[in-house]
Amino acid sequence: MKKIFYTSSAMLFLTLSHGGNIDEGKKLFENKCTACHTVTRPNTTEAMNALIAPPIQGIMLHMNMNFENDKKAMMIFLKDYVMNPSREKALCMPQKIDRFGLMPSLKGTVSPEELDKIANYLSATYY
Protein backbone atom coordinates (compact mmCIF):
# COMPACT_ATOMS: atom_id res chain seq x y z
CA MET A 1 0.00 0.00 0.00
CA LYS A 2 2.75 2.40 1.05
CA LYS A 3 4.75 1.47 -2.02
CA ILE A 4 1.86 2.29 -4.34
CA PHE A 5 1.46 5.64 -2.63
CA TYR A 6 5.13 6.52 -3.07
CA THR A 7 5.12 5.39 -6.69
CA SER A 8 2.08 7.44 -7.59
CA SER A 9 3.32 10.57 -5.87
CA ALA A 10 6.66 10.22 -7.65
CA MET A 11 4.81 9.92 -10.95
CA LEU A 12 2.70 12.96 -10.17
CA PHE A 13 5.84 14.90 -9.35
CA LEU A 14 7.46 13.83 -12.63
CA THR A 15 4.40 14.84 -14.64
CA LEU A 16 4.28 18.27 -13.03
CA SER A 17 7.99 18.91 -13.27
CA HIS A 18 8.19 17.89 -16.94
CA GLY A 19 5.60 20.33 -18.22
CA GLY A 20 2.85 17.72 -18.23
CA ASN A 21 0.53 20.61 -17.62
CA ILE A 22 1.44 22.20 -20.96
CA ASP A 23 0.98 18.91 -22.86
CA GLU A 24 -2.33 18.41 -21.14
CA GLY A 25 -3.32 21.96 -22.05
CA LYS A 26 -2.43 21.29 -25.69
CA LYS A 27 -4.58 18.15 -25.79
CA LEU A 28 -7.46 19.96 -24.11
CA PHE A 29 -7.11 22.86 -26.54
CA GLU A 30 -7.27 20.40 -29.45
CA ASN A 31 -10.35 18.73 -27.98
CA LYS A 32 -12.26 21.80 -26.85
CA CYS A 33 -11.28 24.62 -29.19
CA THR A 34 -10.14 23.37 -32.61
CA ALA A 35 -13.63 22.26 -33.65
CA CYS A 36 -14.12 25.96 -34.42
CA HIS A 37 -10.66 27.58 -34.33
CA THR A 38 -7.95 26.52 -36.76
CA VAL A 39 -4.46 27.06 -35.38
CA THR A 40 -3.00 29.07 -38.27
CA ARG A 41 -4.48 31.29 -40.96
CA PRO A 42 -5.22 29.10 -44.02
CA ASN A 43 -3.39 29.99 -47.24
CA THR A 44 -6.14 29.47 -49.80
CA THR A 45 -9.22 31.62 -50.44
CA GLU A 46 -11.47 28.54 -50.22
CA ALA A 47 -10.12 27.61 -46.81
CA MET A 48 -10.33 31.25 -45.65
CA ASN A 49 -13.99 31.33 -46.72
CA ALA A 50 -14.67 28.06 -44.93
CA LEU A 51 -13.47 29.36 -41.53
CA ILE A 52 -16.12 29.38 -38.82
CA ALA A 53 -14.00 31.24 -36.24
CA PRO A 54 -10.78 33.29 -36.30
CA PRO A 55 -7.54 31.24 -36.23
CA ILE A 56 -5.98 31.06 -32.75
CA GLN A 57 -2.63 32.41 -33.94
CA GLY A 58 -4.28 35.72 -34.91
CA ILE A 59 -6.33 35.83 -31.72
CA MET A 60 -3.23 35.32 -29.61
CA LEU A 61 -1.45 38.08 -31.52
CA HIS A 62 -4.24 40.44 -30.46
CA MET A 63 -4.13 39.11 -26.91
CA ASN A 64 -0.41 39.76 -26.68
CA MET A 65 -0.79 43.24 -28.16
CA ASN A 66 -3.52 44.12 -25.72
CA PHE A 67 -1.92 42.73 -22.62
CA GLU A 68 1.69 43.36 -23.62
CA ASN A 69 3.63 41.06 -21.35
CA ASP A 70 1.05 40.73 -18.64
CA LYS A 71 0.41 36.96 -18.91
CA LYS A 72 -1.65 36.95 -15.76
CA ALA A 73 -4.11 39.55 -17.07
CA MET A 74 -4.27 37.72 -20.40
CA MET A 75 -5.08 34.42 -18.74
CA ILE A 76 -7.80 36.05 -16.64
CA PHE A 77 -9.31 37.53 -19.81
CA LEU A 78 -9.13 34.22 -21.74
CA LYS A 79 -10.75 32.28 -18.94
CA ASP A 80 -13.55 34.79 -18.58
CA TYR A 81 -14.19 35.16 -22.33
CA VAL A 82 -14.54 31.43 -22.95
CA MET A 83 -17.20 31.16 -20.23
CA ASN A 84 -18.90 34.54 -20.80
CA PRO A 85 -18.20 35.92 -24.28
CA SER A 86 -19.69 39.30 -25.21
CA ARG A 87 -19.30 41.89 -27.93
CA GLU A 88 -18.34 44.51 -25.32
CA LYS A 89 -15.51 42.41 -23.92
CA ALA A 90 -14.05 41.25 -27.23
CA LEU A 91 -10.57 42.60 -27.86
CA CYS A 92 -10.02 41.46 -31.44
CA MET A 93 -11.49 43.39 -34.36
CA PRO A 94 -15.28 43.81 -34.12
CA GLN A 95 -15.71 42.77 -37.81
CA LYS A 96 -14.98 39.22 -36.83
CA ILE A 97 -18.11 39.10 -34.68
CA ASP A 98 -20.14 40.43 -37.62
CA ARG A 99 -18.72 37.67 -39.79
CA PHE A 100 -18.67 34.70 -37.42
CA GLY A 101 -21.21 35.67 -34.79
CA LEU A 102 -20.35 35.80 -31.08
CA MET A 103 -18.50 32.81 -29.68
CA PRO A 104 -20.94 30.61 -27.72
CA SER A 105 -20.17 30.21 -24.00
CA LEU A 106 -18.38 26.94 -23.27
CA LYS A 107 -19.80 26.73 -19.76
CA GLY A 108 -20.55 23.06 -19.10
CA THR A 109 -18.36 21.95 -22.03
CA VAL A 110 -15.05 22.93 -20.49
CA SER A 111 -14.40 22.91 -16.74
CA PRO A 112 -12.58 25.80 -15.00
CA GLU A 113 -9.65 23.41 -14.31
CA GLU A 114 -9.43 22.44 -17.99
CA LEU A 115 -9.64 26.06 -19.02
CA ASP A 116 -6.80 26.89 -16.65
CA LYS A 117 -4.60 24.38 -18.48
CA ILE A 118 -5.70 25.61 -21.90
CA ALA A 119 -4.95 29.24 -20.98
CA ASN A 120 -1.59 28.15 -19.60
CA TYR A 121 -0.78 26.28 -22.82
CA LEU A 122 -1.85 29.20 -25.03
CA SER A 123 0.11 31.81 -23.09
CA ALA A 124 3.21 29.59 -23.07
CA THR A 125 2.94 28.87 -26.81
CA TYR A 126 2.12 32.31 -28.21
CA TYR A 127 4.15 35.25 -26.98
Residue numbers of the site for ligand HEC (CB under 6 A)? 32-33, 35-37, 53-54, 59, 78, 81-82, 85, 90-92, 96-97, 100-104, 106, 110, 118
> Looking at beta carbons only, is 22 or 90 nearer to ligand HEC?
90
Nearer to ligand HEC, 19 or 94 (CB): 94
Residue 98 beta carbon to ligand HEC: minimum distance, rounded to whole angstroms:
9
Contact of 37 with 53, CB cutoff 8 Å? yes
Q: Give the shortest CB-18-to-ligand HEC separation in angstroms.
A: 24
Minimum distance, C-beta of residue 92 to ligand HEC, in the bound complex (Å): 3
What is each CA distance from 127 to 35, 41, 53, 62, 64, in whole angstroms?
23, 17, 21, 10, 6
Nearest CB to ligand HEC, comparing residues 20 and 51: 51
Task: Kindly tell me which of 17 and 68 has the beta carbon lying closer to ligand HEC.
Answer: 68
Cα dihedral value 111, 116, 122, 127, nearest 10: 160
Distance CA 98, CA 92 (A): 12
Nearest distance from residue 101's CB to ligand HEC, in Å?
Answer: 6
